[in-house]
Structure 1
């Protein structure tokens, strides 16, 4: 029989993996009834809340490396925070590195982490096409798990958002608002998430009767600056669509700031959507409709995947997609 995982406990108890982690650590954020149900389920399945700690006691450092493209992007700040919450409850040290969105820097960071400072690595690759070689090399020395983004051509565990479901959810929401034409502001050139979201947005648009013309698909980077620039280009065309779909919240915030500067009303003149549900999504005026990423569950699942590798369990490579949740706010109000 295989060793039970945090995901098994979550399914049996009817809660998220993040809730399981909090309940087993004694967090006050979980109600007494839920915590009891989780503990009883964990006991019945034979799950212990410290799989990484048990594994690391057999290894050298008690440390896990986390490598993300940037901490200036609030999504990665949220993700690292959730990972750290799980690590703290297990008594594990987290070594945080950033690649500065540069695959050469990323390769150097991975090489450094494999020199004995950590026992495993959680990584969000910055470049789908060019991160693979360094990841493959790192995996020959240490257990590696990808999260959020992934690299092409490597057989390495991955957990992240179900991008197809997220974009379908946004398109269906816009269709329900009567949208017929939409612009897309994205970042698909280098990272896997943007590439997938772009393709799935176009496909879902076709399915639901929303036209995304090629001259109104703006491809740049995940940043407010790019959102501002894309909005400027779109407005200069003189033909505003019914909606602007942004493949992350940072882009959407930049778009909305520029539209407001030019006197274009959201949602009165055009609807705007984002993706991630970063804290600033509620602070922008008007608040942003978006898809909330299951950041806690992504973090907990990634930690769990790393734990099985550290225990030396033989299993197939896992690719786990988790669904997000539509959060409707005023930027798409009727």
Structure 2
């Protein structure tokens, strides 16, 4: 493999001149620059990214930790993060935590050894112990997606879940529904709590009663939707509309409803949350609350890169607003 010394020898110049031509750090005459470029092409020389990163103390790489999840929402966010990194001239190293704090620590060590400039965390299962680890033991800037308690040192990007839950329930009410249930996410999760708060806010504003047996805690996965639908169907009095706090559980509700002979939306209106890619292809297409995954990803990457440039130490929170996507899974009651 050719070195910068080989290029300098072939071009008949010093190694510092080669460096100035390649990095455009000093004026070099066009004649000499052309000789250097010709030598580079002849020798197929590639500058050492390691050497450059040591010199400028920047690797132009970011690390991302993602918890294991079958939810396509995660994959869509990661896709958008990688695309934004490419647009900003950064390479992304992706690690899967498998929902394990010990594995997260091992991945953090590996990314630190690679000298990544910053970290992005999409790890809802992680505990506050991990947040302490990031704050107290590491100096790498961090942006967290929709997880963790507020912190003075890390940046957070998250959706306005309370408003999203309100928007979903308000839509069911506006379509004429009064008997409305809710399948929540794991209640220890911030997003799940806030979406339920939005549900209650809309119901209270409309003066509608909330039946406790129609509020069922799920797991943000298809199985949770299946179990919730089975429990609701076994009740003597059932809701005629359901706010399901993410699209994966809504998919489970659809599957179990079909097995039980419950027609969506004729017998039961359903609205989801996230607007994952497959939501539009469900039968019927799912009305849902859209999370702008491209915007969330771009804001996370841009916030992290901008922090690297500004050397800002204090953390900040960026709230992304969700929106309603109307499809065919909610019927209007005359």
Q: Answer whether contact 2:214 2:238 (CA < 8 A) is retained.
A: no
- What does residue 32 of structure 2 align with? none
Q: Which has the larger radius of gyration?
A: 2
Classify the secondary structure of the residue corresponding to 2:113. Answer: coil
- What does residue 87 of structure 1 align with? 85
Alignment of 1:84-123 (within 5 A): 84-123=82-121
CA gap 1:78/1:204 in 2 versus in 1, 3 angstroms = same
Classify the secondary structure of the residue corresponding to 1:253. Answer: helix
- What does residue 234 of structure 1 align with? 232
CA gap 1:218/1:247 in 2 versus in 1, 3 angstroms = same
Q: How much is the aligned-residue C-alpha RMSD, in angstroms?
A: 2.3
- Cα offset for 1:315? 6.3
In structure 2, what is the Cα distance between the partners aligned to 1:235 and 1:276? 25
Q: Answer whether contact 1:56 1:310 (CA < 8 A) is retained.
A: no
Q: Answer whether contact 2:292 2:322 (CA < 8 A) is retained.
A: yes
- What does residue 132 of structure 1 align with? 131
- What does residue 21 of structure 2 align with? none
- Cα offset for 1:281? 0.6
Aligned partner (choices 248, 259, 262) of residue 260 of structure 2 = 262
- What does residue 290 of structure 1 align with? 288
In structure 1, what is the Cα distance between the partners aligned to 2:109 and 2:198? 34
In structure 2, what is the Cα distance between the partners aligned to 1:319 and 1:97? 24
- What does residue 202 of structure 1 align with? 200
Q: Answer whether contact 2:186 2:220 (CA < 8 A) is retained.
A: no
In structure 1, what is the Cα distance between the partners aligned to 2:216 and 2:61? 41
In structure 2, what is the Cα distance between the partners aligned to 1:113 and 1:59? 15
Could you give the per-residue CA deviations for residues 76-98 of structure 1, whole angstroms, max 9, x where no partner exists?
A: 11101111111112221111112
- What does residue 243 of structure 1 align with? 241
Q: Answer whether contact 1:227 1:254 (CA < 8 A) is retained.
A: yes
- What does residue 154 of structure 1 align with? 151
Classify the secondary structure of the residue corresponding to 2:95. Answer: strand
Aligned partner (choices 214, 217, 237) of residue 215 of structure 2 = 217
Unaligned runs of 5+ residues in structure 2 are 1-52
- What does residue 24 of structure 1 align with? none
In structure 2, what is the Cα distance between the partners aligned to 1:173 and 1:222? 21
- What does residue 321 of structure 2 align with? 323
TM-score, normalised via structure 1 length: 0.77
Could you give the per-residue CA deviations for residues 273-304 of structure 1, whole angstroms, max 9, x where no partner exists?
A: 10111111112111100011111111111111
- Cα offset for 1:65? 0.8
In structure 1, what is the Cα distance between the partners aligned to 2:225 and 2:278? 15
In structure 2, what is the Cα distance between the partners aligned to 1:111 and 1:186? 35
- What does residue 17 of structure 1 align with? none
Alignment of 1:25-64 (within 5 A): 58-64=56-62
In structure 2, what is the Cα distance between the partners aligned to 1:141 and 1:315? 10
In structure 2, what is the Cα distance between the partners aligned to 1:204 and 1:180? 11
- Cα offset for 1:310? 1.0
In structure 2, what is the Cα distance between the partners aligned to 1:73 and 1:221? 11
TM-score, normalised via structure 2 length: 0.77
CA gap 1:200/1:114 in 2 versus in 1, 3 angstroms = farther
Classify the secondary structure of the residue corresponding to 1:80. Answer: helix
Classify the secondary structure of the residue corresponding to 2:65. Answer: strand
Q: Answer whether contact 1:71 1:98 (CA < 8 A) is retained.
A: no
CA gap 1:264/1:87 in 2 versus in 1, 3 angstroms = same
